Amino acid sequence: MTKLNILDKKYNFLRPIKTDNLIRLGANADGGYVVDSNTIENCNFLISFGLGSHWSFELDCLKKNKNLLIFVYDHTVSKWPYLLGIWKYLRRLLTFRATIEAFQTRIEGYSKFRKFINLDNVKLYNERIIYPTSESKDIDLKKVFSRINNKSEVILKSDIEGDEYKIIDQLIEYSSRIKMLMIEFHWINKNENIFLDSVKKLKNFFEIIHIHANNHDLKLKSGLPITLEFTFLNKKLVLTKKVEYFNDFPIKDLDYPNNPNQEDLSFSFRD
């Protein structure tokens, strides 16, 4: 029998409350998130910080709510990596160093990318989310929220590779407009104190409804995963009167390893 990885009680404030409407949207791997289905259906804006090569979550959100508008912010995303990959594999194909299938995969990848960013509901900004800003490509949340109507019901997703710690105070500033927040905290091994402080700040305005470890990284000696994905729900939307908690992770049929070639990271909370 596998020994439980029970975290120190000091981490118990990270436990998610139990809610009835959790669903998974996006891939059963990197790029998928566990969210509150009612919030997805009732909001009209998804702001997505960090896209990379994964947009299965955004597409599933559109399937759930066809009226959703999606603003994507990622300064690393463009057509050029796809075109360079196609050119690279074309040369390999012509010199018999790659298969036709490998070449077709690159073309299909580019086609899917173009199809996604050309959707009427989707707008891509090649800008970097950070605070304070220092370069021409940088943008902060004040600018982001200036681009949408003040009455918009917003879902916000953040996967910005460590810069999340720099925008916590701004997230709190706009917390009344954010109905649900999915945020990935990176490199907790180097930022444990600021990570714990960041979550405590967010919990003044949001409830944690889900947590998952990204198995691309390992755990601290304490057993706490180095990279954690959270889903927060605005406290005004939490209808649960009797608070109960999820204690054991991952959750079957909701959570899947980010890296499907490795076992998911497990951890538990106990009073």
Calpha distance 9→138 (Å, rounded): 39
Expressed as residue numbers, the domain containing 244 is 9-77+126-268
Alpha-carbon span 19 to 4, nearest angstrom: 24
| pLDDT tens-digit readout, 163-190 | 999 999 999 999 999 999 999 999 999 9
Specify the pLDDT at position 2: 57
**Quick check: is 223 in a domain?**
yes
Report the C-alpha gap between 150 and 37 in whole angstroms.
23
Q: Enumerate residue ranges in the chain where pLDDT < 50.
A: 1
The predicted structure's pLDDT at residue 54 = 81
Q: Could you tell me if residue 108 is inside a domain?
A: no
The CATH number covering residue 173 comes to 3.40.50
Any domain includes 135 = yes
The burial of 66, by beta-carbon neighbours within 10 Å (0-12 exposed, 13-18 middle, 19 or more buried), is given as exposed
- In a domain? residue 105: no
Question: What are the pLDDT digits (tens) for 29-63?
Answer: 999 999 999 999 999 999 999 987 788 999 999 99
29 close to 257: Cβ distance less than 8 angstroms:
yes
- Note whether residue 86 is domain-resident: no
Determine the pLDDT at residue 1: 44
254: in domain: yes
Helices in 136-268 by DSSP H: which ranges?
141-146, 168-173, 188-202
Number of structural domains (the chain) is 1
Decide if 89 is inside a domain.
no
Q: Is residue 52 part of a domain?
A: yes
User: What is the pLDDT, as a whole number, of residue 110?
Assistant: 87
Taking the chain, what is the end-to-end CA distance rounded to the nearest angstrom? 22
